[in-house]
Amino acid sequence: MSKDTSRRHALRVFGGTVAGILSFAAAKTAKAVVQKGLVSTGAPKGYDPTKHKWLMALDIDRCIGCGFCVEACKEENNVPQGASYFRTWIERYVIKKAAPGSGNMRGECIVDSPNGGRNGFPPSLVPREDILKAFFVPKLCNLCEHSPCVQACPVGATFDAPDGVVLVDPNYCVGCGFCIQACPYGCRFMNPETRTAEKCSLCYHRITRDLKPACVEVCPTQARVFGDLKNCTPDDPIMHFITKNKVQTLKPHLGTEPRVAYAGMDKEVR
Amino acid sequence: MQRFKLPPQVVRLVILTVAIVASYAVARQIFVPKSFGQYGHYRGDALKEIASREPRYAGQKSCNECHSEVLVKVAKYEHKNIQCESCHGISKAHGNDPDHHDPIKLNDSLCLRCHTRDVARPLFLKQIELSKHYSGKGKCVECHIPHQPNEVP
């Protein structure tokens, strides 16, 4: 009798285990199918990130500070309207003349960026006769090879994609803000609506569809040049830019190896 | 002959170790996203998710599908390198449904955003000081045609 009961018991335990494992596997498959169905809607097909290497280049001599790029970026990427949320912005550098007899090369450098340059710039407050030179500098994520933001992220929500873009995974970002502190270029901000870190994604949803980023699209003077270093011909705008200009990157001494190339940059630009 | 028997504390330790390793393996299976490690130490699917958003700016190619004659005309003049959506604004909705969505109407503030004089503007750009340039009666388009800026109507 006792032998019979123990066999029944053993069979029941065995059956339960098998059923548990099977239902767990089924649930996992169902979850994967649902996730796939939800996620893949509208995603571009046939884009392989390992076959591209994107680069943005900026010509300071051609930037006119109209702010179309800032406005387009906000519209395209649903960036909050406040004056401290920018994926790209424009700075105006006004360098004063050195005081007569001081022997200095140049005077004070005044940088302003009212509302990120989104609505253009009001006339500079520095009197014209005091100005040595002035220029506009568009800023955005520098697409570092050794990104401090990626190293700082405690949950691995930000990463260097194989196509050269540094991206934030909003589903895994916990909003701790370490990356915002880590970025030496001030290119990140905390989105007040989603409470996740945000930054320039080079309009990833556009470049994967063979469109240019919104800021490059609307730039009226071609101060912004965008291209794919892995698939470009010698007459591609990005190759032309690198060949024609002497290019430089921001804060090269930090060892972040930024990839965004600037032409016509002055020593004051940080 | 006495058979060699593992001491009970060692057996318990082995069972405990196996249990811990197994539960770690199971937990990893459950919690690590499937596409993790596809390209690196992150979720490979995140790239697809970020890319799945719909673009809002249509791009010059889309404009060219219907308005190619305008683009040919503009290409002869100074504004040839300006993309349509720089001035006309977001036009994806207009491209998808031209009858119900109009691109934004142009106004003088758009002209002035580029052509107002500023110390930092490069000299290749034609710049004006509104108070000295503008008679104050009409609008920019009374004297200038945006698509053919070199010509006067």
Kindly report, residue by residue over A192-250, the tens digit of the pLDDT: 999 999 999 999 999 999 999 999 999 999 999 999 999 988 889 999 999 999 999 99
B41 is a domain residue: no
pLDDT band at A1 (very low <50, low <70, confident <90, very high): very low
B152 is a domain residue: no
pLDDT band at A41 (very low <50, low <70, confident <90, very high): very low
A65 with B39: Cβ contact below 8 A = no
pLDDT band at B109 (very low <50, low <70, confident <90, very high): confident
What pLDDT, on a 0 to 100 scale, did the predictor assign at position A6?
Answer: 78
> In this complex, which of A44, A76, A134 lies closest to B119 when CB atoms are compared?
A134
What pLDDT, on a 0 to 100 scale, did the predictor assign at position A38?
Answer: 52
Structure tokens at A194: 């989603």
Rounded distance between C-alpha atoms, residue A261 and residue A242, angstroms: 8
Given a cut of 70, whether residue A9 has pLDDT beyond it is yes
Chain A residue numbers touching B31 (CB-CB < 8 A): none
pLDDT digit string, tens, across residues A61-80: 999 999 999 999 999 999 99
B127 is a domain residue: yes
ipTM over 0.90: no
> In this complex, which of B39, B43, B119 lies closest to A128 when CB atoms are compared?
B119
Please give the residue that has the higher pLDDT: either B43 or B100.
B43
Structure tokens at B17: 């170790």
Domain count, chain B: 1
A220 with B53: Cβ contact below 8 A = no
Q: What contacts A175, CB < 8 A, 6 or more positions away?
A: A190, A195, A196, A197
Residue A62 CB neighbour total at 10 angstroms: 20
What pLDDT, on a 0 to 100 scale, did the predictor assign at position B132?
Answer: 83
What is the residue range of B101's domain?
Answer: 60-142
Given a cut of 80, whether residue A35 has pLDDT beyond it is no
What pLDDT, on a 0 to 100 scale, did the predictor assign at position B48?
Answer: 92
Contact of A243 with A235, CB cutoff 8 Å = no
Residue written as tokens 């500098």?
A: A137
Q: Tell me the backbone φ, ψ of residue A235, rounded to 5 degrees.
A: -95, 10
- For the residues B68-81, what does the mean pLDDT come to? 90
pLDDT band at B141 (very low <50, low <70, confident <90, very high): confident
B40 with A162: Cβ contact below 8 A = yes
B111 is a domain residue: yes
Rounded distance between C-alpha atoms, residue A137 and residue A223, angstroms: 10
Share of chain A above pLDDT 70, in %: 93
- Classify residue A168 by its DSSP letter: E
B113 is a domain residue: yes
Residue in A closest to B58 by C-alpha: A211
Confirm or reject contact between A151 and chain B (CB < 8 A): no
pLDDT band at B150 (very low <50, low <70, confident <90, very high): confident
Q: Angle at the Cα of A97 (from A91 to A101), degrees rounded to 5?
A: 155
Rounded distance between C-alpha atoms, residue B60 and residue A209, angstroms: 14
Rounded distance between C-alpha atoms, residue A14 and residue A19, angstroms: 9
Residue A155 CB neighbour total at 10 angstroms: 12
Structure tokens at B28: 């990893």
The letter for the amino acid at A194 is T
Rounded distance between C-alpha atoms, residue A31 and residue A39, angstroms: 12
Rounded distance between C-alpha atoms, residue A43 and residue B44, angstroms: 14
Strand partners, A224: A58
Q: Angle at the Cα of A153 (from A197 to A32), degrees rounded to 5?
A: 80
A:185-244 residues touching chain B, CB 8 A cutoff: 201, 203-206, 208-209, 211-212, 214, 217-222
DSSP, collapsed to helix, strand or coil, labels residue B65 as: helix
Confirm or reject contact between A251 and chain B (CB < 8 A): no
The letter for the amino acid at A33 is V
Confirm or reject contact between A145 and chain B (CB < 8 A): no
Q: Tell me the backbone φ, ψ of residue B88, rounded to 5 degrees.
A: -80, -5
Chain B residue numbers touching A214 (CB-CB < 8 A): 55-57
Residue A175 CB neighbour total at 10 angstroms: 13
B68 is a domain residue: yes
A208 with B90: Cβ contact below 8 A = no
Taking all residues of chain B, what is their mean pLDDT, rounded to a whole number? 87
B33 is a domain residue: no
Q: What contacts A168, CB < 8 A, 6 or more positions away?
A: A157, A158, A179, A196, A197, A198, A199, A201
B49 with A212: Cβ contact below 8 A = no
B38 is a domain residue: no
- For the residues A159-175, what does the mean pLDDT come to? 94
pTM of the model: 0.83
